[in-house]
Structure 1
Amino acid sequence: MPESTEPSILATALHWLAPWEFEPLWGLACLAALGIYWRGVRHLRTLDPGAPPTGWPRHATLLIGLTLIYVVSQTRYDYLAQYMFFPHRAQHLVLHHAAPFLLVLATPPRVLAAGLPAWASSTHRLARPLLDLLQHPLVAPLLFVGLIAFWLTPSVHFDAMLSRRLYQLMNWSMLLDGLLFWWLVLTPHGRLGPGRRILLLLAVIAPQILIGAYLTFSPTVLFDVYEVCGRAWPLAPLVDQQIGGLITWIPATMMSVLGTLIVLRQLRRGDSQGRRHPSSPAHP
């Protein structure tokens, strides 16, 4: 009888799920986000029992987003992201685009407000000027694309991949900026109307295409740090860079297109609700 392969499969799974470089802040942040969400959902049920419940699609969306963050930051995948260019670009696609996108969709403002502790409101008031600046309609898209370009500057990228402190700063900056941008453009009834939110989503498409195309079609290897440290897989450096460029180009662009469709759906839903519940005429 052939020996069972289950132990080896389990060992392989545990190997890949174990942290490459343990950074407890990532795990604590995921747990805190999950706690705030569930606290908000429970408080809303208590405060307004007649309100429609937060359905399982939102729960699943939040869990998928947090799981993606944990996988790319605290599992063996982080090793690949440090020793191959295209896994690194996939890591930033998750941290800057996919995971924040999912977290914002899963957590409406009323759930977030109900889930935050009391001291967070005073902290928010102190940080409000900085948030207003970072989410200004002119600053937000520049920062969103500018951070991608900054960390992909060859000299900056070289230093970031060789310094644990800079590497963590790079990843955290991508996640936090992604949360700020997607919250600004995907949250209905926020500081911007649907038209301006769609303009911001469209504004970041062309620069991302240019960055991705430059990486994809460059005839030379731009990031020699992966040669210095050694690559995780025996993949040709230029092919590695081309795949990374395509990841920067196509999926990131499609996220903006998907965001635009969601804003249009929000607008259509708001119009239909307005037709079902027209304002009462003023009495003479």
Structure 2
Amino acid sequence: MPWFEYLLPYDFSPLTVAAYLGALIVYGLALPRLPEAERPDPWRITAFLVGLLACYVVMQTRFDYYAQYTFFIHRGQHLALHHVGPFLIALSNPLPVLRYWRHRLPAGQSRLAVPLAWIYRALQQPAVATVLFVGLIYFWLWPAVHFDAMLNRQLYWTMNWSMLLDGLLFWWLMLDPRPPARGRTLGHGTRILMMALVALPQLVLGAVIVFAHESLYDIYDVCGRAWPIAPRTDQLLGGLLTWIPPAMMSIIGILLMLQRIMNDGRPQQKQADLAHSSNGGMAS
């Protein structure tokens, strides 16, 4: 195949292409119109674009073909959709862009958004978000469910979109930059606990896949693999991608929260130092 054909969709989805193109247009149109204080810096813009591109590539290029016919590539696809892409998008803090467009919605559409806001708040409850994040991984990797999802086109697309949307919801809840004291956001300690809790079941699931003596996912034996690879090796690599990288993403998120905790304490410490020096000067 010529190299450019690898960039073309294997299973073209007009809705998927429109969704990604729409997100790119909405982001690009809002950027120059944002106030200077709210405009994201180049690093944040890059994080958003790389996260969006990573999700698009695994869904609408030749990568999707290999994901459908090789287990470890499939796990790489979900790693991008559920972890890396949403993590980068959330880290870019697209809140000013969302706020810009929200203020420009017609009144009727704003009223229609109320039920969506209720659903959003329900899904963002800590217990619900934690169980849903891990539960979807376990659900789609349950051998019987996975077998059906890889054979049914609609179920396959449902699986991929559910992973992407849940990843966006979870990582935004974790990386929301608004201070807990001022915004209605989770405390840093709660976020650290949640990221630790979602890492443990993924470690267990990855270990089960890695150390399984039998083939857990017969669909790749039935339909064949994209290239010659031993089924045991394919499953081993897929288990490692389920085991190690997701845990690393939680560790990175926890480190970011620890950094925020340290930064949140600096203004108060600076004020205390100023007050102390001022009192010392008055006393002298």
Bin for the TM-score computed over the shorter chain: 0.7 to 0.9
Following superposition, the deviation at residue 76 of structure 1 comes to 0.4
Residue in 2 that maps onto 1:4: none
Structure 2 SS opposite 1:118:
coil
Following superposition, the deviation at residue 128 of structure 1 comes to 1.8
Are 1:267 and 2:261 an aligned pair? yes
Structure 1 SS opposite 2:217:
coil
Task: Spell out the pairing of 1:169-208 with structure 2 (5 A cutoff).
Answer: 169-189=158-178, 190-208=184-202
Give the 3 Å change call, closer, same or farther, for CA 275–108 of structure 1 in structure 2: farther
Structure 2 SS opposite 1:204:
helix
Give the 3 Å change call, closer, same or farther, for CA 180–270 of structure 1 in structure 2: same
Paired amino acid for 1:81 = A
Following superposition, the deviation at residue 60 of structure 1 comes to 0.9
Structure 1 SS opposite 2:177:
coil
Structure 1 distance, partners of 2:45, 2:222, is 43
% same residue = 48
Give the 3 Å change call, closer, same or farther, for CA 124–273 of structure 1 in structure 2: farther
State which of 160, 167, 178 in structure 1 corresponds to 2:156.
Answer: 167
Residue in 2 that maps onto 1:222: 216
Residue in 2 that maps onto 1:38: 28
Tell me if structure 2 keeps the 8 A contact 1:39–1:115: no
| Structure 1: segments with no counterpart, 5+ residues | 1-10
State which of 61, 69, 74 in structure 2 corresponds to 1:83.
Answer: 69
Residue in 1 that maps onto 2:207: 213
Give the 3 Å change call, closer, same or farther, for CA 202–214 of structure 1 in structure 2: same
Task: Spell out the pairing of 1:1-284 with structure 2 (5 A cutoff).
Answer: 12-45=2-35, 49=36, 51=37, 53-116=39-102, 117-119=104-106, 121-189=110-178, 190-276=184-270
Structure 1 runs, 4 residues or longer, greater than 6 Å off: none
Q: Number of matched residues?
A: 266
Structure 1 distance, partners of 2:271, 2:45, is 29
Paired amino acid for 1:221 = S
Tell me if structure 2 keeps the 8 A contact 1:101–1:179: yes
Give the 3 Å change call, closer, same or farther, for CA 273–28 of structure 1 in structure 2: farther
Paired amino acid for 1:61 = A
| Structure 2: segments with no counterpart, 5+ residues | 179-183, 276-284
Structure 1 distance, partners of 2:265, 2:110, is 32
Tell me if structure 2 keeps the 8 A contact 1:93–1:252: yes
Structure 1 distance, partners of 2:25, 2:127, is 33
